[in-house]
Amino acid sequence: MRLGYLINTYPRASYSFIRREIRALERSGHLIHRFAIRSERAALADGADFDEDDATEHFLQESPLRLGISALRWMARRPRRAWRGMKLAASCGTQGGRLRHLVFLFFAAHLARRTRALGITHVHAHFGGAAATVAMLSEVLGGPRFSFTVHGPDEFDAPVALNLPLKMSRAAFTVAVSSYGRSQLYRWADPADWRRIHVVHCGIEPEAFPECLPLPECGPRLVAVGRLSEQKGYALLIEAIALAAERLPDLHLTLVGDGPLRGQIEEMILRRSLARHVTLTGWTDESRVRQELAAAQALILPSFAEGLPMVVMEAMAAGRPVIGTMVAGIPELVLPEETGHLVPAGCARSLAEAIERLAGTPIESLTEMGRLARHRVLERHDVNREAARLAQLIAAG
């Protein structure tokens, strides 16, 4: 198949799962053309992301004049479709701004022209926002059929503003990345559309994790990986580290990532005299993330809201237990006392108690938890199997 992939901003440091999915489809013989509305090249750190950026057609890197002419020519030759597209864009804009959706209509017409020129018969969008809107409008304007993947949690916070019910009704199918995510989409979809909502997990490349990494014996040593934003709960994690460090003088957390709350977190570390217990690395590439996983005994994830985090899959594939919160899709992977520990979201004391429980677990038991974690994630999240599942849905659609 010759497929189009459409993402609002691509590539991004946090979107390695999309890159893996695309490459798995390519390995199985499908031809993928990458489209994105904008590039974030200046923020990239990974060489593989730079390669993806070079391979992606970014709409906003076209001159506005050329893009506008491309769109207007397409719509002028299809006046009825153009009228239906304008009406649909205007109705979507009642929730998200009519001017913005008029711009999306131009992107959609340009996408329709480019997909026709490239022989693309299906466009798959990631995330339920701008990219899914453009793909939907493109189909109305005479472009290929479309589908889209919803990750959460942001889409679940604003399903009406994002017009998710409308998009699900018009898409060939909709993908959720967890059973929890599918249940949230069921809330907003017409029951008649439920049969076209499927679970396709984000995947990991098994060859990137050929074996369980040996656990360090000193510690406890923890790693947390993610954007320093409100929903990730890292400010609460610093409180938990402060509580646990009173009983665990050798406790250390490496916090990998950056974001709007970095200054606040640095201030908390300083105020609570935790500099010897917490290290902030900032953004790193995938190889550095794996190094930090290798140096830790467990991943800790204090999230308030999630989809199904890739870092949980990667940690488990590396043979690391996970301490996580009982939100979204996390309990679908982390089994209490088997592959890690689950705690209520928003409770620093519970996080601290889980850290202390981990510290009191013999290294042999932690190693067995890591082995079970690795088995579970490879069984459920092999990117080659999941990409094949997506390809089957596209072919059947």
pLDDT at residue 238, rounded to an integer: 97
Digit-coded pLDDT (tens) for 25-67: 999 999 999 999 999 999 888 888 999 999 999 999 999 999 9
Hey, what's the torsion of the CAs at 108, 109, 113, 115, to 10 degrees?
A: 20
pLDDT band at 322 (very low <50, low <70, confident <90, very high): very high
pLDDT at residue 366, rounded to an integer: 95
Hey, what's the torsion of the CAs at 276, 277, 281, 285, to 10 degrees?
A: 130
Integer Cα distance of 296 and 279 in angstroms: 13
Q: Are 197 and 168 in contact (CB under 8 A)?
A: yes
Superfamily (CATH H level) for 2-203+382-396: Glycogen Phosphorylase B; (3.40.50.2000)
pLDDT at residue 14, rounded to an integer: 84
Whether the pLDDT of residue 313 is over 80: the answer is yes
**Burial letters 273-288, b for 16+ CB under 10 A, else e:** ebeebbebeebbbbee
DSSP state, residue 61: G
Averaged pLDDT score across all residues of the chain: 94
pLDDT at residue 94, rounded to an integer: 66
Whether the pLDDT of residue 210 is over 90: the answer is no
Same fold, 2-203+382-396 and 207-380: yes
Digit-coded pLDDT (tens) for 180-202: 999 999 999 999 999 999 999 99
Specify the 3-state DSSP secondary structure of 222: strand
The encoded tokens of residue 123 equal 């466009």
Q: Are 156 and 184 in contact (CB under 8 A)?
A: yes
Among all chains, which residue has been given the structure tokens 């589908």? 147
Q: Is 66 exposed, middle or buried (0-12, 13-18, 19+ CB in 10 A)?
A: exposed
Specify the 3-state DSSP secondary structure of 295: coil
**Burial letters 298-326, b for 16+ CB under 10 A, else e:** bbbbbbbbbbbbbbbbbbbbbbbbbbbbe
Integer Cα distance of 288 and 302 in angstroms: 21
The residues, any chain, with a CB within 8 Å of residue 196's CB and separated by 6 or more, are: 168, 171, 172, 173, 174
pLDDT at residue 6, rounded to an integer: 98
DSSP state, residue 336: B
Integer Cα distance of 333 and 315 in angstroms: 11
Mean pLDDT of 78-90: 96
pLDDT at residue 285, rounded to an integer: 79
The encoded tokens of residue 16 equal 């390695």
pLDDT at residue 325, rounded to an integer: 97
pLDDT at residue 95, rounded to an integer: 55
Whether the pLDDT of residue 332 is over 70: the answer is yes
Digit-coded pLDDT (tens) for 96-141: 577 889 999 999 999 999 999 999 999 999 999 999 999 999 999 9
pLDDT at residue 208, rounded to an integer: 87
The encoded tokens of residue 171 equal 């898409």
Q: Which CATH architecture has domain 207-380?
A: 3-Layer(aba) Sandwich (3.40)
Give domain limits for the chain.
2-203+382-396, 207-380
Integer Cα distance of 45 and 243 in angstroms: 34
The encoded tokens of residue 56 equal 């992606």
